[in-house]
Amino acid sequence: MDVGVGTGYFPAATLKRRRGTSSSDLESNGVFEHLTLVDLNANSLSSASRRIGEPKRTRCLVADAFNPLPLPLVDGKPEQFESISLFYLLHCLQGPPSSKGKIFAHLKHHLVDGGVLFGATVLGKGDFRHNLFSNGLMWFYNSIGLFDNWEDTEDCFVEALTAEFHEVESKVIGCSLLFKASKPRR
């Protein structure tokens, strides 16, 4: 499941790489059996799904990741996925970083025990400096409400992830935080 899929760049790029030159059988390539795309924006979902190009295996869900996802129950339990990605979604969410952690609390119920939740987000503060260009973009995007991330730090996301998962890894590259969490706390 990819949450905040936007243009579908990451799933499409991954599939393109894994397809290689000969086989288009993604299941036997171990990429995915089914893909669920989640976004607030229905137009993003349809263009992402087209770009990914696997309509039979792809389901689109218009939903707000701040709320429990409106997915059907499977045997009375939340539907679960082997992987859940969140690429460049968190910096778009409005509110302090502590409130963004609510998303992890909802999503952990959709991760199988051996699954992985992972992603990336642009931080506002940390042991790095936004360069002139990045600072200008940060200022512009935050002022028009496209980003709300001046207060976002690695520590606050690691803390929020650790509250919901037993295993959490993180790494800052430039001003982006890459994160990976597994073993959801049940």
Q: What are phi and psi of 179, to 5 degrees?
A: -135, 155
Tell which one of 39, 152, 154, 164 touches ligand SAM (CB under 6 A). 39
The reply on whether position 10 binds ligand SAM by CB under 6 A is yes
Q: Quote the tokens at residue 176.
A: 């982006």
Q: At closest approach, how far in Å is the CB of 28 from ligand SAM?
A: 26
Residues 120-133: b if buried by 16+ CB within 10 A, e if exposed:
bbbbbbeeeebeee
6 is a site residue for ligand SAM (CB under 6 A): yes
**AA letter at 55:** P
Q: Which range, of 4-12, 19-27, 150-158, 175-183, touches ligand SAM by CB under 6 A?
A: 4-12
Q: How many residues bind ligand SAM (CB under 6 A)?
A: 19
Q: CB of 48 within 8 A of CB of 37?
A: yes
CB of 122 to ligand SAM, least distance (A): 9
- Give the single-character DSSP code of 125: S
Q: Is 171 helix (H, G, I), strand (E, B) or coil?
A: strand
**Which residues of this chain interact with ligand SAM, rule CB under 6 A?**
4-7, 9-10, 38-41, 44, 64-66, 87-89, 92-93
